Amino acid sequence: MRWVRRVFLTISGAAFAALFVAMLESITIGRALSAADQRPPGIFTLLGSAAGVIFPVAMIVGLAVAPLAMLVEPEGSTTIVQDIAAIRGQRARRLRAAALTPLLGLAIFVATVGAAHFGRALMVAKRPVESGLSMGILTVGLSLVMTAVALAILPTLWRLLARLANVSRYADPLVTGSTVAALALLLIVIGVRTGDTGGTGGVAGVGIFGVLARPELDLLPVVHALGIAASAYLGGTLSRGRFVREASIAGGVAVLLLFFLCVRSSSSLGREPDVVVGLERHASLGRVSLGILRRATDRDGDGHSASFGGADCNDNDRSINPEAIDIPGNGIDEDCSGEDTPHVVVAQPDPPPVKDPTPAEPAKPRRTFNVILVTVDTLRYDLGFAGYNKPVSANIDALAAKSAVFERAYSLSSYTAKSLGPLHIGRYPSEALRDGDHFTTYYPANTFVAERIHEIGTRNVGGHCHYYFMWNTGYAQGFDVWDTSAIAPGMADNDSSITSERMSDLAIKLLSRPENVTPPPLPSGEPRRFFMWFHYFDPHAQYVRHAGAPDFRAIPGGQPGRWIYDEEVWFTDKHIGRVLDHVASQPWGADTAIIITADHGEAFGDHGVRTHGHELYEPLVRVPLVMYVPDAKPRRVGIKRSHIDLAPTIMDLVGAPPAPPGELRGKTLLTDVYAASDETLEERDVYLDMPQGPMNDMRRGILTGKTPGMKLLHFGGKRYQLYDLAADPGETNDLSEDPEKFKPVMDRLQQLRAGLAEVAIGARK
């Protein structure tokens, strides 16, 4: 029965390590929530939940280590240490191992680097499915080739070591193997430090390891799992020690404690949303283990569990889960939000006006205009014209001084692929016909605003500098010219390519072509207008320095770590200024409206978040919106508005007829542009919508009531946060537990969703 004791002690060693990892992750969660101005749960609550969640992974690791340990160290046989000593004790075996070990290590390292570069090239070409299979095949192939090369070199290296063996102690497998391992580790570190997060740059090709620094690529779970495996192995070695009985008792207590905590967590996490949020956002191994537990306890196979905070309110029905589309008025809460969406057929429900509005001026401009839409990736709303004290946006500020500035503008989502496509479609992301990729493709059945205005004869031109727009993802629908020549060679997502200068060069080139800016008039004799869209990318991570930029570190204010982002914004603004100057110098400039906005914002520690694409807090979805219309007076629009309004606004500017009722969710913003003040304007709800994707969970929200409004965020199931933005602009005081405040805003969210036509991912019609 010695092997039973050994297996048990191996598992016990994993259990003790799991308790230690749970303690580390509990401290991390508590600190992260405190940094986000949120009150963390008690440390023992966090520790118990984290330990219970990690328990299954620890048991899996322990059960995997036990047979491996017994395979290489069977009872009554030699141990690994003894085997190594035997090899080192025989001269011939030592020399062979000393030669073979470094060669095989180098072969594996080179094959891995080569396969990674090939996989990155496939990902840039938007072939993620092929990249996984191809990388596997290529890795095996390169490994075989490099192994053959190593074996060919082996005799030569062996003879060389044989000559050295008489005079040097370094002809030893431990020395040669450790040297190569240290060299490989050094190259990986150099690659991480010198390469960018897109896998480019660096020295001698090792910059591919820069991807390891990506925030979404958390390697800490691997480190924690290896630590548990090491502890499991050490636990198993106690089976031959003096304290077997004591170790067995302690191990039994640890395993039983973790088992109890795991059983408790299966039900308690459903009542502890703050703990669930902490585990999902800030626990490395706990997040991975939580996903495993939820998949293992998903009884109906719909991808959601009723246990471990999975929020599935009916785990016996695949059509009911937190990601299901709720059918209004059928009495069934399909999306587990807490109540059925009411049957209210309203395209965009508006709350009662704060006071009776006086008649507004007509929305139609006095004449039609060309339209230039400039979107800037990851551009926060707090630019110079919004009160930021650092000189990051001089050219946009100058345009804002003669424009309508929307001080409370919101994107539709917090990452590019879920915000820009719906902006042009004029419907919310959950309504758009799309695939499930992170880099979303929008299907031809969607009607983009460029298609709508093309019907009246506009000349539509798009210019882009990010490889996402090079793929056939639907954005080019309705454009006469779609130019992606500003994409930097070898560009990947999240890399350090510098593109603003290239983007402005392209924009000026496209704006200098007569066929684009002065197309033949319409048959009626009216001028044929143009619509151009340019998307800048540089403010998106990874950030780089720019010569000539101010030293933003020396200027007080701003958030820690933001100064280099400010430098990127300054650089982008500098080159946008070149385009604005070109437009102003042209005879058609007086007939051209300019819209500058962002696809989403960015977080620098707000709510413990240091990136975008996962949450819908203010710094992530509140965006700058500057609208210059030549015959409109400059003004500040303080009332809340959404990107959902941009498609009808563009149609209004170029003179296109309104879309048929129900096709567009928004309303023209020209009413706001031409209004004398906000007193005549209606309050409108702002809806935030981020459907689930491969790298994000579902998030939705609403801002309702008098600007800035009450903001309700939905995290799936019955998990909500509610903020009064007037009293709490930093979103630090969650009011969702106050039924008097929560119920009216929840009703508004449900009423708005009742008027939407949400579609499942992959639906094409």
Q: How confident is residue 448, by pLDDT bands cut at 50, 70 and 90?
A: very high
Backbone phi and psi for residue 421, each to the nearest 5 degrees, phi listed first: -60, -55
pLDDT of residue 559: 81
Task: Give the residue with greater pLDDT, 343 vs 260.
Answer: 260
Q: Is the pLDDT of residue 623 over 90?
A: yes
Most confident of 9-23, 73-87, 288-302, 576-590: 576-590
Structure token pair of residue 660: 């048929």
Rounded Cα gap, residues 293 and 264, in angstroms: 13
Helix (H) or strand (E) run with residue 154 in it: helix 128-165
Start-to-end CA distance of the chain, whole Å, equals: 64
Parse the chain into domains and list their residue ranges.
2-271, 370-754
pLDDT of residue 212: 65
Alpha helices in 449-562 (DSSP H): 449-454, 500-511, 514-517
Lowest-pLDDT range, 176-190, 475-489, 681-695? 176-190
DSSP state of 466: S
Task: Give the residue with greater pLDDT, 278 vs 706.
Answer: 706
Lowest-pLDDT range, 64-73, 319-328, 613-622, 746-755? 64-73
pLDDT of residue 598: 98
Amino acid at 457: G
pLDDT of residue 199: 65
Q: Is the pLDDT of residue 363 over 50?
A: no
Q: 3-state class of 147 per DSSP?
A: helix
- Exposed e or buried b per residue across 544-562, where buried means at least 16 C-beta atoms within 10 angstroms of its C-beta: eebeebeebeeeeebeeeb
Instruction: Summarize pLDDT for 135-146 with one digit per residue, the tens.
Output: 556 666 776 777
Q: How confident is residue 1, by pLDDT bands cut at 50, 70 and 90?
A: low
pLDDT of residue 399: 98
Rounded Cα gap, residues 148 and 152, in angstroms: 6
Rounded Cα gap, residues 441 and 465, in angstroms: 18
Instruction: Summarize pLDDT for 689-744 with one digit per residue, the tens.
Output: 999 888 888 999 999 999 999 999 998 888 899 999 999 999 989 999 999 999 99
Q: Which CATH superfamily is domain 370-754 in?
A: Alkaline Phosphatase, subunit A (3.40.720.10)
Rounded Cα gap, residues 736 and 277, in angstroms: 15
Lowest-pLDDT range, 95-104, 258-267, 545-554? 95-104
Percent of the chain scoring above 70 in pLDDT: 83
Q: How far is CA 331 from CA 326, 341, 498, in A?
A: 10, 8, 53
